[in-house]
Amino acid sequence: MSHTVTLHIRRTHGWADYVVTVADDAYVLDALEAAGRQDPTLLFRHSCHHASCGSCGLRVNGRERLACSTRIDEVWRPGRKLRLEPLRNLPLLGDLLVDLGPVAARIETVGLPLIRAVEPEVVHGRIAPCPSPGEGGGEGSSIALASPVNQGGEPAPTCPPVKAEPGATYPSRPANLIRFESCIECGLCISACPVAGSDARYWGPAALAAAARVAAEPRGRDVGAALEQVDGEDGLWRCHGVFECSEVCPSHVDPAGAIMGLRRLRLGGHGR
Amino acid sequence: MKSAYERSRWWEPRRLSSGLWAFMAHRLSGIALVAYLFLHLAVLSQLWGGPARWDAFVALARSPLLLALDVLLLATVLFHGLNGLRLTLLGLGYGLRWQKLLFWVALILTLGLAGWGAVAMLGR
């Protein structure tokens, strides 16, 4: 079985239709790739095909989604066109392609340890002290998630770049494990946020959720500095509580909840 | 080559997510209440015209049309106030898991109390 779908794509200089035939269990990205084979000038981005890289975000029928994890039959009905548009509130590079650089730059500014090179050893719900000074290196304790290998083929050093704080608690319930570390920096939250559309200086949901992540699990980061950065009229207090960012987040990070939680922390004097 | 941003718009009901509806309704009701405030001041200025002028306005205000507008005003005030309480709670980090439920509670209370007000005002 297959679907013949008309993609109604917003290109840089106007709308264009592409009729493509895809399998009935195809995803939007499969249809886009079929359109790309028809017209190699069509600009869009993708990489992993399984909702991990965050590069294929766009608007499908007006709603922010990842093209790779949105099935055609979820969003399209026979006889109708499937409308595809680029994300908003981000610099448009062309067709469906936006510059995600500002998202990554702001997350990085907050000081998030994005690359989890190591995983702290957790014993009875607490991060354990260093079992072996020779292996873990220093006061904090960590064990390698996998066996990382350097480009030269040599095993990477097990010494963690960011050490866990001995005695720090880990979330005790599964619900508490929903955290920013799942963020794939796709920019869907920025596009869906009506406040980001009205204030270009606004830090945006992703970066503010990153700050919440630093506050929740500092792992050696300076919580006060991270919170100080986002504690302003273009940061925490600009959010209007629309919760659209949490609605569209494909990784269930819940940026809106993180922002509200940060406000509570700040009002309680945390990080000052 | 970078072209201009396309910006999202706050008044765009893209889908039926309650948070966005609450946001739009809160803004629109806020704008409406600010406009009403000026209208209210303009109406009060009728007092400068003396008792006869004011009595004429009071007679007009008792017409079904204006009473219906009063009910609409009551609903606007109720929603803005109740959703404002919801936003205050959420903004302080309380009740985040129930933000959608809180919107519906605010809406149902608004409709219920405005309905009660309608009966009280129009049922005379």
Q: Is A101 on the interface with B (CB under 8 A)?
A: no
Residue B31 lies in a domain: yes
Which position has the higher pLDDT, A133 or A13? A13
Q: A63 to chain B, minimum CA–CA distance in Å?
A: 7
Give yes or no for A61 touching B (CB within 8 A). Answer: no
Which residue of A197, A242, A265 is in closest CB contact with B7? A197
| Residue A157 pLDDT | 37
pLDDT of A122: 60
ipTM metric: 0.80
Q: Encode pLDDT of B53-102 as tens digits.
A: 899 989 998 899 999 999 999 999 999 999 999 999 998 888 988 999 99
**How many domains in chain B?**
1
- What SS3 string covers B36-98? HHHHHHHHHHHHHHCHHHHHHHHHHHCCHHHHHHHHHHHHHHHHHHHHHHHHHHHHCCCCHHH
CATH of the domain at B45: 1.20.1300.10
Query: How many residues make up chain B in this entry?
Result: 124
Nearest-neighbour CA in chain A from B22: distance (Å): 7
**Beta carbons of B9 and A194 less than 8 Å apart:** yes
Q: Of the candidates A71, A60, A73, A76, which has an alpha carbon nearest to the alpha carbon of residue A30?
A: A71
pLDDT in the model for residue A1: 80
| In a domain? residue B7 | no
Looking at chain A, the whole-number percentage of residues with pLDDT higher than 90 is: 53
**What pLDDT, in 10s, does the model give residues A213-263?**
888 877 777 888 888 889 989 999 999 999 999 999 999 889 999 999 899
Q: What is the dihedral of CA A137, A141, A145, A149, to 10 degrees?
A: 0
CA atoms lying within 13 Å on the CB side of residue A110: 28
Residue type, B69: L
What pLDDT, on the 0 to 100 scale, is given for residue A222? 81
Which residues of chain A neighbour B29 with C-beta distances below 8 Å? none
Residues of chain A in contact with residue B5, where contact means CB-CB under 8 angstroms, are 88-92, 200
User: HSE on the CB side for A2, CA within 13 Å?
Assistant: 9
Cβ–Cβ of A263/B92 closer than 8 Å? Answer: yes
In a domain, B3, yes or no: no
- B4 in a structural domain: no
Q: What is the CA radius of gyration of chain B?
A: 19
What is the nearest CA distance from B78 to chain A, expressed in angstroms?
Answer: 19
User: What residues of chain A lie within 8 A of the CB of B12, using their CB?
Assistant: 194
Q: In chain B, which residues have their Cβ closer than 8 Å to the Cβ of A243?
A: 17, 19-20, 99
pTM confidence score: 0.78
List C-alpha distances in Å: A220 to A119, A163, A214, A224.
Answer: 13, 6, 9, 12
pLDDT band at A270 (very low <50, low <70, confident <90, very high): low
- Residues A60, A28 contacting (CB under 8 angstroms): yes
Nearest-Cα residue of chain A relative to residue B91: A260
Yes or no, beta carbons of A241 and B87 under 8 Å apart: yes
Q: What is the pLDDT of residues A150-205, one digit of tens each?
A: 334 444 334 344 444 555 544 454 455 555 668 899 999 999 999 998 888 899 99
Q: Determine what percent of chain A is predicted with pLDDT higher than 70.
A: 73
Q: Which domain holds residue B37?
A: 19-122
At A271 the pLDDT is 61
